[in-house]
Amino acid sequence: MNLPPILKGESRTRLLQGAGGGAVIAMILGFGWGGWQLQGTAEKMADQRATEAVVAVLAPICVDKFQHAADATATLVALKAADSWKREDFVEKGGWATFPGSAPNGDVAEACAKMLSGQK
């Protein structure tokens, strides 16, 4: 069987070098600018988006629970008087960020405190 001239001798070496170089360049372009991702990165992004979705749904419920609690106006004044880094704990300890079947959610408490205090 005769091989084509491109697969003989020095030509074969150059062909393999070109194929390897092309593969490396394709990977650099794909991961750098093409949006390719490894599975671990994709899973982290999916978890982050799921957490954001849960917070977006539960934070308004937390605000509603807070506003319908006894002495809501006095509690709101106390919340606004608290330091900004303590407001999350204030909401968690008040039980407004606790939902049936789960422990207090810190992300929900933080979003709830921001909504209640008028921050963005």
- Token pair 């303590």 in the structure block, residue: 86
Taking only the tens place, the pLDDT of each residue in 18-61 is 899 999 999 999 988 988 999 999 999 999 999 999 999 999 99
pLDDT on residue 6: 65
| CB-CB contact of 106 with 92 (8 Å) | yes
**pTM for this predicted structure:** 0.69
Domain ranges across the chain: 1-36, 37-120
